[in-house]
Structure 1
Amino acid sequence: MIPLLANAIEAHGGLDRWNAHRRLTATIVTGGDLWALKGVDQDRAPRTMRIELHREQVSVAPFGKPGQRTAFSPERIAIVAADGRVVAMRNDPRAAFARHDMRTHWDPLHHAYFDGYALWTYLTTPFLLAMDGFEVREIAPWHEGTEVWRGLRATFPATIASHSAEQDFYFGPDMLIRRHDYHVEIAGNFPAAHYVADPVSVDGFKLPTRRRIYLRGDNLIPLRDELMVSIDLSDFRFD
């Protein structure tokens, strides 16, 4: 493990502590311009998300209507009723985004798949980068105001569903995550600058509570008038 990644993982709580847990649950509230572009009716109601820490599985509830939840894995996305009945399901969900651009409307399964892989990536950073199959290297730092944020570029293995195969992560002087850059391949490959802030301490971990994802312009500059997604998190609970 390269020193930058090792230091970042330690600053966020350490790999031994992470490996001692199996699941993380949180309350999320989402907003931003992406949902209207996708024809998704996304309200500001709080939802509960649960992720598996060591395998890519996620659920979000309620989804669509009260009593329904999502069941995400890279190979399958489903919407499940309270009694366990599968309301809708799609195998090989990534293939359903072929030829999509930023304004192509999503059906509920498109939306659920995006939620699943995005939330899992965000909530497991930086620990997921220590998993088998990831390739990481240090890149040029990012200068934000008076701070210098050290950069790390990760190449994701094909077994992990995420925004893009190559993603960049930037860490502040305290080694906590500040920014996460990628291309959203399933929505026309648009470039995003994802700012991370307001960490809280939970069971020895530092977990961000505020995420703001902007369209990214030239020279890695975030377009602050183009807020694509906002995510506010609270009530973190490890199982």
Structure 2
Amino acid sequence: MHTLIDDIVDAYGGAQRWADVTAICACKHFGGAIWGLKHVAGIVEDGEVTVWVQRQHTSLRPFTGDDLRSDYTPDRVAIERIDGPTLESLDGPRSSFDGHTLETPWSALQLAYFTGYAMWTYLAEPINLTVPGVVIEQGTDWVEGHQVWRRLHVTYPDSFATHSPHQVLYVDDEGLIRRRDYQVDIAGGSPAAHYVSDFERVDGIVIPARRMIYVRDEHNNPIPDQLVVSIELTDIRVV
């Protein structure tokens, strides 16, 4: 039986096309308050990102230096020379956030972990929703302005590094994911309303080029003057 997830995957280019995608690369600009709040301003705001779609692997460059890049997997993060050896690494990075609040500063390696898992979650979607172990339940519809969006409650397995095990996706009539709600567990569980727009078709798949992430209030609405993160992608390439 054709499911809502099938409709979503079809809207983004189809399962067959996504199965042939190795990586998505783009120039990126990050904004928002989190970088200064976490004492990591100036490290990741501009540069390039590469996400390997079929496995949880991300790299940002430059990263703390013009000739350096980050290397993220769920079990290990590192800072490497682009044409040389690893300078720093951290195994089991998730545990390094134990006891963190929203105001706790991040190290450069912790920044590599956060940006790595976040960009993989975003750019490998929707195909990562089809991975065995991901549990999806359809919830009640949500009215956003003049639009009605279908809500999906997604529970990720322990093998996924992401903001929180349970997240809510909002899907429009075309099958595009327009919003996601979660709490950032590694930053004291801060609640977020994450909006997605500027969808581009690149080499047969659909990729959002703009994301705006706000603090979410107790009524499930974004607080417009509390922009936590913004993401803008240009020169998107599919490998």
Q: TM-score, structure 1 length as denominator?
A: 0.97
Percent pairwise identity: 39
Measure the CA separation in 2 of the matches of 1:86 and 1:2: 46
Aligned to 1:207: 207
For 1:15, the aligned partner's letter is A
- Is the deviation greater in 77-86 or in 10-19? 77-86
Amino acid at match of 1:232: E
Correspondence 1:76-91 to 2 at 5 A: 76-91=76-91
The one-letter amino acid of 2:236's match is: F
Q: Matches of residues 94-105 of structure 1 in structure 2 within 5 Å?
A: 94-105=94-105
- 1:156-192 CA-to-partner distances (Å, cap 9, x unmatched) read 0111100000111111111111001111000001110
Q: Aligned equivalents of 1:132 and 1:42: distance in 2?
A: 38
Read off the aligned partner of 1:6 and give its amino acid letter: D
Distance 1:21 1:207 in 2: 12
8 Å CA contact retained: 1:196, 1:211: yes
CA distance in 2, matches of 1:237, 1:83: 22
Partner of 1:141: 141
Q: Is the 8 A contact 1:4 1:152 kept in 2?
A: no
CA distance, structure 2, for counterparts of residue 104 and residue 2 of structure 1? 45
Counterpart in the other structure of 1:8: 8
Confirm or deny: 8 A CA contact 1:75 1:92 kept in the other structure: yes
Alignment match, 1:59: 59
Question: Is contact 1:157-1:165 (8 Å) kept?
Answer: yes
Structure 1 residues 32-41 or 81-90, which shifts more? 81-90
How far off its partner does 1:44 sit? 7.8
Question: 1: distance between equivalents of 2:103 and 2:202?
Answer: 38
Q: Is the 8 A contact 1:31 1:42 kept in 2?
A: no
Counterparts of 2:198 and 2:28, CA distance in 1: 14
**Partner residue of 2:184?**
184
- Kept after mapping to 1: 8 A contact 2:31/2:45: no
8 Å Cα contact 2:43/2:64 also seen in 1? no
Mapped to 2, the partners of 1:127 and 1:215 lie a distance apart of: 27
Question: Cα offset for 1:43?
Answer: 6.4
CA RMSD, aligned part only?
1.3
Correspondence for 2:125:
125
Q: 1:97 to 1:44 in 2, by over 3 A?
A: closer
Matched, 1:113 2:113: yes
Indicate the residue corresponding to 1:49 in structure 2.
49
Deviations 1:106-137 (A, max 9, x none): 11011110000000001011211001110111
Q: Which residue of structure 2 lines up, in the alignment, with residue 29 of structure 1?
A: 29
* CA 1:36–1:94: 2 relative to 1, 3 Å: same
C-alpha distance in structure 1 between counterparts of 2:137 and 2:84, whole Å:
43
- How many angstroms apart in 2 are the aligned matches of 1:117 and 1:160? 9
Aligned-pair CA distance for 1:84? 2.3
Structure 2: how far apart are the matches of 1:110 and 1:141?
A: 36
Cα distance in 2, alignment partners of residues 177 and 138 from structure 1:
14
**Larger deviation, residues 185-194 vs 82-91:** 82-91
- Answer yes or no: is the 8 Å Cα contact 2:137–2:153 preserved in 1: yes
SS in 2 for 1:227: strand
User: Following the alignment from structure 1 to structure 2, what is the Cα–Cα distance between the partners of residues 53 and 201?
Assistant: 16
Can you give the 5+ residue segments of structure 2 that lack an aligned partner in the other structure?
Answer: none
Q: Secondary structure at the match of 2:110?
A: helix
Q: Any idea what SS the aligned residue of 1:41 has?
A: coil
CA shift in 2, pair 1:115/1:45, >3 Å: closer
1:151 aligns with 2:151: yes
Which residue number in structure 2 is paired with residue 195 of structure 1?
Answer: 195
**How many residue pairs get matched?**
239
Give the residue type in structure 2 aligned to 1:181.
D
Call closer, same or farther: CA 1:155–1:104 in 2, change over 3 Å. Answer: same
Distance 1:19 1:83, change over 3 A: same
